[in-house]
Chain A
Amino acid sequence: MTTVALKPATMAQALGRALRDAMADDPTVHVMGEDVGTLGGVFRVTDGLAKEFGEDRVTDTPLAEAGILGTAVGMAMYGLRPVVEMQFDAFAYPAFEQLISHVARMRNRTRGAMPLPITVRVPYGGGIGGVEHHSDSSEAYYIATPGLHVVTPATVADAYGLLRAAIASDDPVVFLEPKRLYWSKDTWNPDEPQAVDPIGRAAVRRHGRSATLITYGPSVPVCMEAAEAARAEGWDLEVVDLRSLVPFDDETVSASVRRTGRAVVVHESGGFGGPGGEIAARVTERCFHYLEAPVLRVAGFDIPYPPPMLERHHLPGVDRILDAVARLQWEAQS
Chain B
Amino acid sequence: MTVMEQRGAYRPTPPPAWQPRTDPAPLLPDALPHRVLGTEAAERVDPELLRRLYAELVRGRRYNAQATALTKQGRLAVYPSSTGQEACEVAAALVLEERDWLFPSYRDTLAAVARGLDPVQALTLLRGDWHTGYDPHEHRIAPLCTPLATQLPHAVGLAHAAHLKGDDVVALALVGDGGTSEGDFHEALNFAAVWRAPVVFLVQNNGFAISVPLDKQTAAPSLAHKAVGYGMPGRLVDGNDAAAVHEVLSDAVAHARAGGGPTLVEAVTYRMEAHTNADDDKRYRGDSEVEAWRAHDPIALLEHELTERGLLDEAGMRAAREDAEAMAADLRERMNQDPALDPMDLFAHVYAQPTTQLLEQEAQLRAELDAEARHHENEHESEGTAR
In the complex, which residues of chain A have a beta carbon less than 8 angstroms from the beta carbon of B212? 34-35, 38, 60, 62-63
The answer to whether A313 and B365 touch across the interface, beta carbons within 8 angstroms, is yes
In the complex, which residues of chain B have a beta carbon less than 8 angstroms from the beta carbon of A130? 77
- Give the contacts of A71-113 with B (CB-CB under 8 A): 90-91, 93-94
In the complex, which residues of chain B have a beta carbon less than 8 angstroms from the beta carbon of A64? 181-183
The answer to whether B125 and A132 touch across the interface, beta carbons within 8 angstroms, is yes
CB distance from A100 to the nearest CB of B (A): 15
The answer to whether A63 and B148 touch across the interface, beta carbons within 8 angstroms, is yes
**A91 CA / B147 CA spacing, docked (Å):** 6
In the complex, which residues of chain B have a beta carbon less than 8 angstroms from the beta carbon of A303? 346-347, 350, 358
The answer to whether B184 and A94 touch across the interface, beta carbons within 8 angstroms, is yes
Q: Is the interface of A mostly helix, strand, loop or mixed?
A: loop
Interface size on B, residues (CB 8 A): 43
B40 at the interface (CB under 8 A from A): no
B343 at the interface (CB under 8 A from A): yes
In the complex, which residues of chain A have a beta carbon less than 8 angstroms from the beta carbon of B216? 60, 62
The answer to whether B182 and A308 touch across the interface, beta carbons within 8 angstroms, is no
**A63 CA / B358 CA spacing, docked (Å):** 37
A70 — nearest CB in chain B belongs to which residue?
Answer: B183
**A130 CA / B128 CA spacing, docked (Å):** 8
CB distance from A274 to the nearest CB of B (A): 11
Q: Do A67 and B183 contact each other (CB < 8 Å), given the known contacts A40-B283, A301-B347?
A: yes
In the complex, which residues of chain B have a beta carbon less than 8 angstroms from the beta carbon of A308? 77, 128
The answer to whether B218 and A62 touch across the interface, beta carbons within 8 angstroms, is yes
CB distance from B325 to the nearest CB of A (A): 28
B99 at the interface (CB under 8 A from A): no
Chain A interface bracket (under 10, 10 to 19, 20 to 34, 35 or more): 35 or more
**A134 CA / B233 CA spacing, docked (Å):** 35
CB distance from A14 to the nearest CB of B (A): 22
The answer to whether A133 and B183 touch across the interface, beta carbons within 8 angstroms, is no
**A319 CA / B368 CA spacing, docked (Å):** 9
In the complex, which residues of chain B have a beta carbon less than 8 angstroms from the beta carbon of A133? 146-147
The answer to whether A63 and B147 touch across the interface, beta carbons within 8 angstroms, is no
**A40 CA / B210 CA spacing, docked (Å):** 12
B67 at the interface (CB under 8 A from A): no
In the complex, which residues of chain A have a beta carbon less than 8 angstroms from the beta carbon of B217? 62-63
Task: Report B98-118 CB contacts with A as 1/0, cut-off 8 Å.
Answer: 000000001000000000000
CB distance from B351 to the nearest CB of A (A): 10
In the complex, which residues of chain B have a beta carbon less than 8 angstroms from the beta carbon of A65? 182
In the complex, which residues of chain B have a beta carbon less than 8 angstroms from the beta carbon of A302? 350, 355, 357-358, 361
**A182 CA / B345 CA spacing, docked (Å):** 30
The answer to whether B78 and A310 touch across the interface, beta carbons within 8 angstroms, is no
- Give the contacting residue for B284; candidates A38, A272, A309; CB below 8 A: A38
Given contacts A132-B146, A301-B361, 12 further A-B contacts (CB under 8 A): A60-B211, A60-B212, A60-B216, A62-B212, A63-B148, A64-B183, A131-B126, A302-B357, A306-B346, A307-B130, A307-B131, A308-B128
Measured CB to CB, the residues of A under 8 A from B are: 34-35, 37-40, 42, 60, 62-67, 90-91, 93-94, 129-134, 271-272, 301-304, 306-310, 313-314, 319-320
> Can you identify 12 A-B contacts, CB atoms within 8 angstroms?
A39-B283, A62-B216, A65-B182, A131-B125, A131-B146, A301-B365, A302-B358, A306-B346, A307-B124, A307-B125, A308-B128, A309-B127
